[in-house]
A and B are shown apart, each in its own frame.
Chain A
Amino acid sequence: MTSIPRSVSALRLPPVLAGYLTALSRGLLALLLPLGLLLLWQLIAEQQWISPQLLPPPTQVLDSLLELYSSGELASNLGISLARVLWGFAAGSAAGLLLGVAMGLSPRVEAYLLPTFKAISLVPVIGWVPLFILFVGIEESLKVLVIAKAVMVPVAINAMKGIRNVPVGFFEVARLYRFSLWRTVRKVVLPAALPSLANGLRLGLSNAWMALVAVELLASSEGIGYLMVYGRQLFQLDLVMATMVVIGVVGLVLDQGLQLLERHLLTWRNSAY
C-alpha cells in the first residue's frame, strides 16, 4: 500500500540499506499517530479548551513522571508492587503447576479435581477479593492471595493441556525403558509440554500484574496502584497518567522478559521456524 518501499527499490539501493530504510519508514509511520495526538493534546491543554484538571498537558505528565523518579517515590512504590507480584506469582505458579501436572498425568485426579477447579476459576479475581478480605484482612497476605489465584488458573490449565498433548508413544518408550514416574516427568513430560507450560506462565504473569493493580486500587497504602488512588483523590490527573505509563511499561517489560527467557529455554527444540 505504501509507496515508500517501492520508491526505495527504484533507487537500486543495496538490499541491506533498503531494508533499513523500510524499517525506518515504518517506524516513522507508527510514530505519526501518537505524535499527532500528543501535539493535539498539548494544543488543547494550552488553549484551555478542556480544563487542565480534566486533561493536564503532556509536558506536565512528563514532569510529574520525572519528579516521581527523582524523588525516589517511583522506585520505592514499584519495588513494593514488584515484590507482591513476585510472591503471588511464585505461590500461584507453584500451585498451578502442581495441580496442572497432576491432572494432566492422571485421569483419575482430573475426574476428582477438574470440576472443582473449574468452579473456582469461574469467579473472576475481583469476586474473590471480599471473601479474602474477610478471611485475611487487607494486609500483604491479601495481595499475595489475590495475585496467586489470578496466576494459578492459566498455569494449571496450560500445564494440563500441555501434558495431555504429549504423544502417547513418548510414554510407551518411557515405559519400555522402565523409567520411574519422577524420571518420566522430568525427562519426557516436562520437555514435551514445555512450550505450553511457558505459555501458561506468561499468561499467569500478565494476569498477576493486572490483579496487582486491581487489588492495590482497592486496599493499599503503598505501591504503584496506591500512587494512582492518591493522584485521583487529589485530582492530580498528571500523576494518574504518569502512573498509567509506568504500569504499561512495567507490564511490557515483564512480558518481554519472560518471552526472552522462554526463547532461551526452548532453544534446544529443532523446529523449522
Chain B
Amino acid sequence: MSQNISKFDPRGLVVPLLLIALWWASAHWGWADTRLVVPPLDVVAYAREQFVSGELALGLVASLARDLAGFAIGAGAGLVIGALLALSPLTDRLAGPSLHAVKQVALFAWIPLISVWFGQGEPAKLVFIALATFYPVLFNTYEGIKSVRRELAEVTRVFGFGRRQTLLRLVLPAASPQIFAGLHLGLIYSWLGTIGAEYYLKVAPGVSTPLIDGREHFEMARVLYGMVLIGLVGALLNAVATRLEQRTLRWRPR
C-alpha cells in the first residue's frame, strides 16, 4: 500500500482526466440530459459555496464527531468482549455461537428495529455506528489473542507471571498487530455506519446532507459534491489509521 502511495504514476490520471473531459464536453455541447450531466465547474462552484458559508465545516465536524463517538463505543465493546471470549473458553462456548448467529443479520436490517427502540436522533445513530464497528473489532481481537503462541504462554508461566502481567506483557503485545487490523477495519466500517445512519435515520447536519437534499431537489452538482466529500473523508480516515498502526507497531521486530 505505502509503496503505491510514495511512487506516483501519472498514468493513473489518464482515465479520470478522460472521464472529466468527456463529462465536460457532454455538458458543454448538450449530448445528454443537462439535468443529469451538469458542468463539472458547477460542482466546484457548489463546493466553494459550501466552504465559504461554513456548511462544509459544520457537516464535517458533526459527522466526524458522530463517527468517532460510535467507533469508540463499538470498538471498546468489541475489544473487551473479544478478549473475554478468547481468554475464557467457558465464555466462548456460552456466548460465541450466539454472537456468531446475531452477526448473520445484515447490518442495515437493524435500522428499523433501532429506529423503534432508540428513536431517530443521535442515540440511534450512535448505536448503529457502534454496531457497524463492533464485529470487525471483536473477531480480530479474538483471532489475535487466539494466535498467541503456546510456547510464549509457557515461558510466562515458568516465570510465574500473574494474570495482569500475562495480559499486559504477553497477550496484548503479541496480539497487537491483529487487534490494530481489527480497529482499522472497524474505523472503515464506522464510516459506512455513519453515512448509513445519516441516510436512514432522521436528517441531521452531516456529510450526507448534500446527497439527500441533492437527490430530493434533483441537483446533480450537490450529489456529486457529497460523494466526493464522503470518499475524501473515508480516504483520510484510512490514511490516519494506517499511519497510527505503523507508528504503534514500530517496536515489533520484523
Contacts and interface: CB of A to CB of B under 8 A. Distances in A.
Interface of A: 1-2, 26, 29-30, 32-34, 37, 54, 108, 111-116, 119, 122-124, 126-131, 133-135, 209-210, 212-214, 217-218, 225, 228-229, 231-232, 235, 237, 240-241, 243-245, 247-249, 251-252
B108 interface: yes
Contacts of A131: 223-224, 227
Contacts of B168: none
Given A124-B195, A130-B223, A213 B101 contact: no
Contacts of B220: 134
B230 A1 contact: no
Contact of B106 (A111, A124, A247): A247
A213 B109 contact: yes
Given A33-B94, A115-B13, A248 B199 contact: no
Contact of B105 (A119, A235, A248): A248
Contacts of B223: 130-131, 134
A221 to B, nearest CB: 16
6 contacts: A130-B223, A133-B215, A225-B109, A240-B116, A247-B105, A248-B109
B123 interface: no
Nearest to A209: B106
B39 to A, nearest CB: 16
Contacts of A114: 4, 12
A215 B193 CA distance: 15
B8 to A, nearest CB: 10
B31 interface: no
A171 to B, nearest CB: 22
B108 A123 contact: no
B101 A34 contact: yes
Given A1-B88, A131-B227, A112 B109 contact: no
Contacts of A249: 104
B112 A217 contact: yes
B151 interface: no
Given A30-B93, A30-B96, A115-B12, A214 B196 contact: yes
A156 B251 CA distance: 34
B215 A134 contact: yes
A1 B91 CA distance: 10
Q: Pick the 9 closest A-B CB pairs, nearest first.
A: A115-B12, A130-B215, A30-B97, A248-B104, A232-B112, A248-B105, A122-B231, A214-B108, A111-B11
A262 B105 CA distance: 23
Given A127-B195, A130-B226, A214-B106, 8 more contacts: A29-B93, A30-B96, A54-B117, A133-B215, A232-B115, A232-B116, A240-B116, A243-B109
A32 B113 contact: no
B85 interface: no
